[in-house]
Amino acid sequence: MFDLISQFIQRAILQGTPLLFGSTGEIITEKSGNLNLGIPGIMYMGGISGVIGGFFYQQSVRIVNPVLAILIPLVCALAGSLLASLIYCFLTITLKANQNVTGLALTTFGVGFGNFFGGSLIKLVDSDVPSIALTKIAKVYKTTLPFAQWLEDSDSLPLQILEWFCKTFLSYGFMVYLAVVVALIAAVLLKKTRMGLHLRAVGENPATADAAGINVTKYKYFATCIGGMIAGLGGLYYVMDYTNGVWSNNGFGDRGWLAIALVIFATWKPNFAILGSYLFGALYILFNYIEGASMEIIPVLKMLPYLVTILVLIFVSMRKKRENQPPASLGLSYFREER
């Protein structure tokens, strides 16, 4: 029984981690007033950019250096997601294009970008299997903390409980913990710092913020780019850790859209997104643990994260507490001359 619970929690955390990266990045972006529906495409571009860097590094050496195995895909993923974010910023902030249309176009572009370069790499390896396996690099990304191994086969009940805890919560690659740390830092920065206050002011009323001497364009660019880079790490995690370094085109599923839905569930608070992402991860895999679930009921079970989001949205709207509402200027372009 305890092993089954431990396995369920572990799988929920693994499923929820890319959602946490994506939702944290989108929360930071939306706090500036930008509604970036291109997050699924940015995550896709982050993933394939990391794969490109990791692929050429793995192909060029016989023995993989652990530091370079982490840094090269990481830097490439950040660069790829930054490029996508800058495209979005230029179109929506500089050219004042419609944010909804631009975000959806960016998602389509990101998926096409990933599939094109993913297919090109697959042709380079000349494999019959339509995928790329970066197993050496993935092994470094999946290196776990050693605590659980130290306590194996313990006879003492307290040590057995500690072993279960370590196995359940301390046996992941570094990116799982990085997602939590980034979310907590984002929560502190948004709530407790002057920069976070300025960013929230830009999202609530850019005209007032501009009149107070805050550079609206700079803050919007900065938040959108940082948010996009964090979301791109979600794509990198999915490839290098969750799928053991295997890239296959169109393999991300609907995780990018789940990350956007999670922003509403978390009521635009990164610390709430931590628990929300793991809850979404648990709901996403719940059908695997329901005995006798028919093929007809499985799609309904997979809808649970979205249904929960709708319920939270209804509840938050009914309470009408301002701190649980989206930024007032979310999705609206700022025209300085109209101030």
Positions in the chain whose pLDDT score sits under 70: 1-2, 126-130, 146-160, 292-295, 319-320, 322, 337-339
Q: Which residues contact 106 (CB under 8 A, 6 or more apart)?
A: 36, 37, 38, 41, 42, 84, 87, 88
User: Does the pTM exceed 0.85?
Assistant: yes
What is the topology classification, in CATH, of domain 2-338? ABC transporter involved in vitamin B12 uptake, BtuC (1.10.3470)
- What does the mean pLDDT of the chain come to? 88
Q: What is the per-residue pLDDT across 147-183, written as a single tens digit (0 to 9) for each?
A: 555 555 555 656 667 777 878 888 899 999 999 999 9
Angle between helices 2-31 and 216-237 (to 10 degrees): 160
Q: Where are the domains of the chain?
A: 2-338
Token output for 87: 């495209």
